[in-house]
Amino acid sequence: MSRSVTVPCDALLDITFFGLAAQEGETCAKTQGVNIYSIGLNQTEVPVWESFMEQLLHFHRKNPTYDGRFLVQRCPIQEPLVTPKSDTAYPHRQIKMHISNVEGRYTDPYIEDPVNAFLHESRHHFQLSSGFDKLAV
């Protein structure tokens, strides 16, 4: 039995976020800035998470119009590892946890550079302790 499902492009956000995208209204509206950074982890380092949360709080205090989201998905890897490579296009089967959405939303274009810098640096810190030699997304 195959567990692979093809999702149409126009339904991807709604499927990924369990209907949340549709509930919030239009995604990527004309005046809305959205920056998304993702990463896959093979291990969890608590100090890195604590540091990220402290930095996120500090960033939000400096940028009160920032409306970020942080979505974490943790899953067992037994099934992906036994699924034949020919049955899936998924390249990183060893990923145990997806930080699939470190997202910045804002309507103030002046904070775009600080948002990108913060999210890029945050993903870099997670990558250093991810258990992978290279960035896995």
The structure tokens 């500090």 sit at 58
pLDDT of 129 = 92
State what percent of residues in the chain have pLDDT above 90: 24
Q: Structure pTM?
A: 0.72
Tell me the helices (H) and strands (E) count for the chain, helix number first: 5, 3
6-21 per-position pLDDT tens digit: 767 666 666 666 555 5
Residues in CB range of 137: below 8 A, 6 or more apart: 38, 39, 40, 92
91 vs 94: which has the higher pLDDT: 94
Residues in CB range of 104: below 8 A, 6 or more apart: 33, 34, 35, 36, 66, 67, 68, 115, 116, 118, 119
The structure tokens 């390249």 sit at 91
In angstroms, rounded to a whole number, what is the distance separating the alpha carbons of residues 93 and 95?
5
CB 68 within 8 A of CB 104: yes
What is the Cα gyration radius of the chain?
17
In angstroms, rounded to a whole number, what is the distance separating the alpha carbons of residues 36 and 9?
17
pLDDT > 90? residue 78: no
